[in-house]
Amino acid sequence: MSRREMDKLGWKELDILLVSGDAYVDHPSFGIAIIGRVLLSKGYRVGIVAQPDWKKPESLKAMGKPRIACAITAGNLDSMLNIYTAARRIRKDDAYSPGGRTGLRPAHATVVYAQLAKQSFPGLPVIIGGIEASLRRFTHYDYWQDKIKPSIISDSKADILVYGMGERAIIEIVQRISSGKPLDSISGTVRMLGKNAAEAFTKSNAGFIELPSYDQHLSSNDALLESIILLEKEMNPECARTVVQRHGDRLVVQEPPAPPLATGDLDEIYGLPFTNRPHPSYREKIPAFEMIRNSVTAVRGCPGGCSFCGLGLHQGKFVSSRSRDSIICEVRRLAEDPEFHGTVSDIGGPTANTYGNRRKNPEQCRECRRPSCLFPEICGNYYPYEEDFLSLLKELEKINKVKHVFIGSGLRLDLALLQKNLMRKIIRDHVSGQLKVAPEHLDDNVLKLMRKNKSSDFMKFMEFFEEETGRTGKKQYIVPYFISNFPGCTESEMKKVDDFLSSKSWTVQQVQDFMPLPMTLASAMYCCGKSPDGKILQVNRGLGERRPQMKLLKRKR
């Protein structure tokens, strides 16, 4: 992070400069740390500028001009989500900044940093990636600005965009730049072609999928819904086609997604020598790190395809799990940390109980275009295998200095009902007193719009949890998570949640007022006021319209 550190390593120049909107934490829960470690493992000299002063071009120049490229991310969250609440008010803290301080990253950070890099290092290739780039790679609706925005690659003027988990793509891009080769046809990437290149592409290529253009989006909100539905069908790397979208006479070209990493590849990445610490230059604690410092990522990908979530468009629906040995080795290293006090706070990922899940016959998935493996019903080819996780938890309990192993990243309830042995084990031994679950809603019509299964799943799981907790003799509680003001949810539907909470005399701890994340199906429903099948939905937009449901959900009982 400094010229002095470069001198200690004997580096006269960097190969790649990474720029992040988050503070630099060398832990694999932070995307910039993974990309940095992967590049370093391949022999590249990597520097990181974290949260630069975006008003000063010299803020990127402390370590000199990198030899190959500058790679940019807004951080672990979309910068607008990081800065603003659902009410479009500035948040009081930033969990990814030292001391939780706000104001250390700009709105639309990817665009701002990319333009800063172009200004600081003329002629240097600029790569953008991370969740913000992934969810804004085509024309999208920005809730906080309440406007339709073009592809982020258009605004940023970046040379190439990496979407999804970018370990493979970043190496391929850097190798091609180094050898002077073109950046076309790299899985998991997006480019913007100028007028002549766009004409040549459309003449020489066939079989691509064309989304409604940026101009069509500006003239009709329905184009957004059409685009997302089309795009979701091209997220299976085994059958996805190239997707394009016109921006005037230019063309945004998305290559098919990168295949998910195999277990061995994941083990290799998570086995890299992360320090699991914030950079030593920080004097204040970084809240996001404090929250995950004793957690372990076990699984990637999410089969759920929930309409409000960006994971399907980022990590994909196919589950990849680390090996048991890899996770055990990481927990052993964690247990030897002088600051470890005996509790592993989480073994999980997007959803903990997808660990070890598999496809019965992978060949049957090759032509599948469903955005969800679990909705409207669990696919017959999806196997919610529980034995791997059960075995892993039993082994982790044997590790010296480990007193508790908790599951903190939440459970998928429809899968949990098919994993009774695993759930008994978790309820008996791996709940910290409160188990977080996300029914999201209790009205089946709203749940259908969310792409969540019926409310009966939550009721059945709650009954099972209470029975098993009773057998343990412990005092343990379910902490449910609900969303207010989802498109199509009126006060009548929200009252079903209120009636349930009142019957239990529960005041909810976890409440989320709906926020339309860019390029999600729910964002399109919010923007155009229609369901995917064209039915008109009630959409609460301003704070005045949204406040009644928020108050109903938050009220004390």
Query: pLDDT band for position 311 (50/70/90)?
Result: confident
How many angstroms separate the first and last alpha carbons of the chain? 50
Say if residue 509's pLDDT is above 80. Answer: no
Q: Percent of the chain scored above 70 by pLDDT?
A: 100
- Asked: is 3-190 a CATH 3.30.930.10 domain? The reply is no
User: Residue 162, SS3?
Assistant: strand
Query: pLDDT band for position 408 (50/70/90)?
Result: confident
CA distance 280 to 275: 11
Q: What pLDDT is attached to residue 130?
A: 97
pLDDT tens string 209-224: 999 999 999 999 899 9
- Residue 503 and residue 497 in contact, taking contact as beta carbons nearer than 8 Å: no
| 182-210: average pLDDT | 96
Cβ-count burial 507-534 (b if 16+ within 10 Å, e if not): ebeeebbbbbbbbbbbbbbbbbbbbbee
CA distance 341 to 321: 27
Say which residues have a Cβ less than 8 Å from residue 331's Cβ, sequence separation at least 6: 296, 344, 396, 399, 402, 405
Q: Which H or E run contains 250?
A: strand 250-254
| 16-38: average pLDDT | 97
SS percent in the chain: helix, strand, coil, step 5? 40, 15, 45
Q: What pLDDT is attached to residue 336?
A: 95
* Residue 168 half-sphere exposure toward CB, CA atoms < 13 A: 15
pLDDT tens string 32-76: 999 999 999 999 999 999 999 999 989 999 999 999 999 999 999
Helices H / strands E in the chain, number of each: 22, 24
- Residue 229 and residue 212 in contact, taking contact as beta carbons nearer than 8 Å: no
Of 459, 464, 452, whose CA–CA distance to 422 is shortest? 464
Hey, how many other C-beta atoms are within 10 angstroms of the C-beta on 104? 18
Q: What pLDDT is attached to residue 554?
A: 85
CA-based torsion, 348, 351, 353, 354: positive or negative: negative
Query: pLDDT band for position 108 (50/70/90)?
Result: very high
| 244-255: average pLDDT | 98
| 140-151: average pLDDT | 97
| Domain residue ranges in the chain | 3-190, 284-554
CA distance 3 to 13: 9
Say if residue 272's pLDDT is above 90. Answer: yes
What's the whole-number average pLDDT of the chain?
96
Q: Which H or E run contains 190?
A: strand 189-193
| 122-132: average pLDDT | 97
Of 105, 89, 106, 75, whose CA–CA distance to 143 is shortest? 89
Q: What is the CATH number of domain 284-554?
A: 3.80.30.20
pLDDT tens string 530-547: 999 999 999 999 899 999
Annotate 262-296 with DSSP letters as a single string. Answer: PHHHHHHHHTS----EE-TT--S--HHHHHHTTEE
Q: What pLDDT is attached to residue 448?
A: 97
Say which DSSP state 536 is in. Answer: B
pLDDT tens string 435-449: 989 999 999 999 999
CA distance 112 to 117: 9
Query: pLDDT band for position 5 (50/70/90)?
Result: very high
Q: Which H or E run contains 500?
A: helix 491-504
Q: What pLDDT is attached to residue 410?
A: 80
